[in-house]
Structure 1
Amino acid sequence: MKQMHLAAHFPGVNSTTVWADPRSGSQIDFASFEHLARTAERGKFDFFFLAEGLRLREHNGRIHDLDVVGRPESLTLLNALAAVTDRLGLAATVNATFNEPYELARRLATLDHLSEGRAAWNVVTSSDAFTGENFRRGGYLDRADRYTRAAEFVATARELWDSWTPEGTPRPFAHTGRHFDISGEFTVPRSPQGHPVVIQAGDSDEGREFAASAADVIFTRHGTLEAGQAFYADVKARLAKYGRRPGDLTIMPGVTVVLGDTDAEAQENATEIRHLQVSPQNALLALEQVWGRDLSSYDPDGPLPEIDPDPESDLVQGRVKVADPLAVAAKWRALSEAKGLSIRQTVVEATARQSFIGSPRTVATELEAFVEAEAADGFILVPHLTPGGLDDFVDRVVPLLQERGSFRSEYTGTTLRSHLGHAEPVWKG
């Protein structure tokens, strides 16, 4: 049986988190991060994953409701978590558009040293002027250039990490390219993993190609087994052109899990959670993100709007824009008409993340089936509660996976690369 990989995503400012639940804690209190990280390590997870936002999102000129709690900086938190964990990988989302290779390479190498080889970088990009207003270069980067800059950024960071020999001798570096022209001496010795693990989040064709060329892990989403298999086959097939093998890239979709003592109870729990996630207000907000129009006068329990979306709208700022709002609206209308759904009911069904719902035994079986069918190499779990949303999974599902031999019972290595089964990169001096 294939061994799966598991990671934990700290739920924050997204539509998954249920802040109204009395068990929900703070998104900025260190105790919340520590609780989830310790739970993930108790479950022998590969890594703990933090998202990042460089600006509070706005909706119709107001701060988006889910952003009012703030968004702490990822690497600062992970350096603190390195002191209260021993084996768990620590993955930070850091933007390759609004940072510079030298400074970020230093920060990541420092985390890798402090954690004794557990650092990872989730590479993301941005091209919108709204986010760029927080930076000197605000909004200058064309959308078409975001992955070319990211690719050169990663390559430059790796040159910096390789500027120290494995024996501990520093060497001058120099890089001249389209986006970066730097030279000097790197201040941090080669870290325990050689290079921190690189993660890429994205499903677009550009994102898939970038992951195939430069990433160790790809964080994705897909709604069905068949869609997962198609994505898996496509991305793995791209590796050969870069001289890489299928095992060099680990594919891990983000998923939610809802448990119950029985499958029927789990379905009831899932229905309740989805309706807490999609409140009447959030249903209208989700609809406005597609339509690009102020729909606050509409009844969430009524039908979808008859008017078409505005593709040129700037109603929503700081979120990835819907690529083809007219097509999405048509899909939602077809769903609504076929099932007789209201606005809120349509959003509940149309925006659900890939979920595994059932008793612990059912969920364990379905997770294993995805890995065996080559729809994924593992999963990044996104719980709906902060910080205790992973507790039941670790207590009730992980032991079943361990008994069946599909997931480790103990860590066999000390670095994140060893957890993933990836070799340390060859030094390129």
Structure 2
Amino acid sequence: MTKQIKLAAHFPGVNNTTVWSDPASGSQIDFASFEHFARTAERGKFDFLFLAEGLRLREHAGKILDSDVVGRPNTTTVLAALAGVTTHLGLAGTLSSTFNEPYEVARQVASIDHLSGGRAAWNVVTSPDAWTGQNFRRGGFLKREDRYARAEEFLATVRELWDSWQPGTLVGDKENGVFARDPGKFVHSGPQFDIHGEFTLPRTPQGQPIVIQAGDSDEGREFAAKAADVIFSRHGTLEDGQTFFHDVKRRLATYGREHGELLIMPAATFVLGDTDAEAEEHAREIRLQQVRPATAIQFLEQVWSRDLSGYDVDGPLPEVDPDPDAEPLTWGRVRHEKDQLALARKWRALAEEKKLSIRELVIEVTARQQFVGSPATVAETIDEHVRSDAADGFVLVPHLTPTGLDEFVEKVVPHLQERGVFRTGYAGPTLREQLFRVR
């Protein structure tokens, strides 16, 4: 059978992907934006909508980044509201295992699953810094190994809570109208959590909501192979995607899981045009809008840990090396490459080879338009990635809110459907059926 493509839509939120200057750019916090985005994704028969979590606004050099000042609404509140204006679309939200508790997350996600008729998903993440922790009573910082130890037990505890209500008969005085299913008690005692009591909700329509994991480290990959239904990765190119795909899938057997029990869905952006050449030109214009001069300098300062504001963004990279011993200038953004000196050498070589200025280099190394071309070209490329086992599907991140997904749904989805690799209707009422039921 032809391998079917999974598609999700990431509401862009606050980040340097969104083009704020475009007249079509709308609100990041008005419910109308979330509703438009969700309705578009459902019209396109997408598997789920995906929201990030922002527990603190990003800062740079002691000031709030201007791309973050629009605010970050609470994820579960938005998803609960979207449950009322959609009927099939999955509703996925990021909730940190570092600064939440298992009981509250289990209750929040189970509530959304009940409200939506079985369409909830939880993206399990760890929060890496004390800077975010300052917003919480406990504050503090957990080392990487401690974060994943907490996350693993956190997820296991949440699953115990979801499973604590077993199918059973009604108890109580049914004749007089006083009855309820027998709630299950839970007891969990472990290194991270020691809790007991009764969970407030019966089993959800899905049995258990879908679990997504977004870690890229070795610990994150192992965690996903052991416990996740979907892994959200950053490996969007064909070669990198295949390497990541095969590395994660090979780990499944260790936990008694089959190849198809974990779906790999990298983040991906797209730019469309009537022709491939028109799309390429449009993509260049978008990158210039995304990487403004101030943005380019700020990005470089993340790696250099130095004030580089005196450098010409259209000039060469600084001759001075990064300061690996200095405090980071940017808080709230994950830097995946930890060796600053090695990264600076790599970028200098690239800039020299291609004759790139600071701004041009930043555009080069942060290129996000994985799929650029006519609708037919983009559909073919996505299909190629999935057929070649570089991914099971993609989480699309448009550069405009909330209308950025419209063009993809109107122009690319029909091509995928004509190729027989994407659904024309939903498989069933729950997200689990959409993702794992063969149609």
Give yes or no for TM over 0.5: yes
Q: Does 1:334 align with 2:335?
A: no
Cα contact 1:222–1:354 (8 A) shared by 2: no
Shift of 1:316: 1.3
Partner of 1:306: helix, strand, or coil? coil
Select 1:266's aligned residue among 269, 276, 279.
Answer: 279
Query: In 2, Cα distance between the equivalents of 1:127 and 1:403?
Result: 44
CA contact (8 A) 1:18 1:385 kept: yes
Match of 2:234 in 1: 221
Counterpart code for 2:333: R
Corresponding residue number in structure 2 for 1:353: 368
> Bigger radius of gyration, 1 or 2?
2
Contact 2:266 2:394 in 1 (8 A): yes
Select 1:315's aligned residue among 318, 322, 329: 329
- What displacement does 1:62 show? 0.4
Give the 3-state SS of the residue equivalent to 2:76 in structure 1. helix
Paired residue for 1:409?
424
Q: Which residue of 1 aligns with 2:116?
A: 115
SS of residue matched to 1:135? coil
Distance change >3 Å, CA 193–CA 264, structure 1 → 2: same
| Distance in 2 between residues matched to 1:216 and 1:251, nearest whole Å | 9
Matched residue pairs, number?
423
Contact 2:18 2:400 (C-alpha < 8 Å) held by counterparts: yes
Q: How far off is 1:169 after superposition? A: 3.2
Match of 2:390 in 1: 375
Q: Name the CA distance, whole Å, in 2 between partners of 1:422 and 1:173.
A: 31
The equivalent of 2:29 in structure 1 is 28
Shifted more, 375-384 versus 136-145: the winner is 136-145
- Give SS of 2:324's match: coil
Matches within 5 A, 1:388-427: 388-421=403-436
The whole-number CA distance in structure 2 between the counterparts of 1:73 and 1:56 is: 13
Distance 2:100 2:9 in 1: 25
Pair 1:279-2:280 in alignment:
no
Query: Residues 30-429 of structure 1 correspond to what in structure 2 (within 5 A)?
Result: 30-167=31-168, 168-312=181-325, 313-321=327-335, 322-353=337-368, 355-421=370-436
**Contact 1:223/1:354, CA 8 A, preserved across alignment:** no
The residue type equivalent to 1:148 in the other structure is: A
**What is residue 426 of structure 1 aligned with on the other side?**
none
Structure 1 letter corresponding to 2:316: P
Q: Quick one: which amino acid aligns to residue 267 of structure 1?
A: E
Report if the CA contact (8 A) 1:127-1:139 is conserved: no
Q: 2:385 is matched by which residue type in structure 1?
A: F
Q: Distance in 1 between matches of 2:236 and 2:383?
A: 16
Listed one character per residue, the Cα deviations across residues 38-95 of structure 1 (whole Å, up to 9, x for unaligned) are 0000000000000011111110010111110011110000000000000000000000
Instruction: Check 1:382–1:369 CA distance in 2 against 1; reply closer, same or farther (3 A cut).
Output: same
Q: Is the 8 A contact 1:254 1:354 kept in 2?
A: no
Q: How many Å separate the matches in 1 of 2:235 and 2:419?
A: 25
Larger mean Cα displacement after TM superposition, 384-393 or 221-230: 221-230
What one-letter code is carried by the residue in structure 1 that aligns with 2:434?
H
Deviation at 1:223, TM superposition (A): 4.5
The residue identity in structure 2 corresponding to 1:230 is: T
Cα shift at 1:311? 1.6
Structure 1 residue 344, shift from structure 2 partner? 0.2
Deviation for aligned residue 1:115: 0.2
CA–CA distance in structure 1, aligned partners of residues 225 and 431 of structure 2:
19
TM-score by length of 1: 0.97
Cα contact 2:283–2:369 (8 A) shared by 1: no
CA shift in 2, pair 1:422/1:147, >3 Å: farther
Q: Higher mean Cα deviation, 194-203 or 379-388?
A: 194-203
Contact 2:427 2:437 in 1 (8 A): no
Distance 2:244 2:372 in 1: 22
Q: Matched residues in 1 for 2:148 and 2:136: separation?
A: 19
One-letter code of the match for 1:316? T
Residue of structure 2 in register with 1:7 after alignment: 8
Once residues 259 and 183 of structure 2 are traced to their aligned partners in structure 1, the CA distance between those partners, rounded to angstroms, is 33
The alpha carbon displacement at 1:96 in A equals 0.4
Q: Which moved more, 1:408-417 or 1:321-330?
A: 321-330
Contact 2:7 2:393 in 1 (8 A): yes
- Provide the aligned C-alpha RMSD in A: 1.1
Q: For residues 80 and 417 of structure 1, what CA distance do their matches in structure 2 show?
A: 20
Residue equivalent to 2:175: none
Is contact 1:248-1:422 (8 Å) kept? no
Q: Which amino acid aligns with 1:208?
A: R
Provide, for residues 206-237 of structure 1, a one-character-per-residue CA deviation record: whole Å limited to 9, x for no partner. 11011001110000012421111010000000
User: 3-state SS of the aligned residue for 1:220?
Assistant: coil
- Higher mean displacement: 316-325 or 185-194: 316-325
C-alpha separation in 1, matches of 2:243 and 2:128: 28
Percent identity over the alignment is 69
**1:221–1:354 CA contact under 8 A, matched in 2:** no
Instruction: Give 5+ residue unaligned stretches, structure 1.
Output: 424-429
Separation (CA, whole Å) in 2 of partners of 1:105 and 1:99: 10
Unaligned runs of 5+ in 2: 169-180
